[in-house]
Amino acid sequence: MYKFVIIGIFFLTIFSLMGSSFGSFETEIKDNIFIFVQTSLRNSDGQLVTYLESSKFTNLNLTALDSFLDFEASRGNDPIITIDEKQYQVIRRVQTQSFDSEGLVASTNLHDNINGKPILLARFAHDGYTTISGDTLESIWTFIRPVS
């Protein structure tokens, strides 16, 4: 019994050290960009199966993300809000994906297509959820950045 506890603590320690070495970033409103993602998985009857949200990301490509947001902002009427007498632009985009087979989804990714190649902008790593045929995934990405 004690061997299992010690082994479990060892693996938790190793995984937490590995997670910090891979570089996760928690974004905050006071940063140059705040990112928040809400992901929901629904079955074929529309019932909620899984809901995850986070403002902590790995593989955050700030240069490509800034370019992506500039383009996205040029497409529509994204609102400007005021927080503590500072103005911020709120850009919200929705991604939807339907599944036609079983699988495991271990992260929520945001990609952009640059010169015909998919570029990873941000990754929300999570423990994952299983999908079956007919499930639908919706990710709502919210970006808040200061107005220059």
Q: Which helix (H) or strand (E) holds 22?
A: none
Single-letter amino acid, residue 137: L
List, for residues 2-35, the tens digit of each pLDDT value: 444 444 433 333 333 344 334 566 766 666 888 9
DSSP class of residue 31? S
Taking residues 110-128, what's their average pLDDT?
Answer: 88
Query: Quick one: pLDDT at residue 136?
Result: 94
Query: Quick one: pLDDT at residue 62?
Result: 86
List, for residues 42-98, the tens digit of each pLDDT value: 999 999 999 999 888 888 888 899 999 999 999 878 999 998 899 999 999 999 999
Query: Quick one: pLDDT at residue 30?
Result: 62
Closest by alpha carbon to 104, among 123, 130, 125?
A: 130
Query: Quick one: pLDDT at residue 60?
Result: 85
Query: Quick one: pLDDT at residue 24?
Result: 62
Query: Quick one: pLDDT at residue 106?
Result: 77
Q: Which helix (H) or strand (E) holds 35?
A: strand 34-42
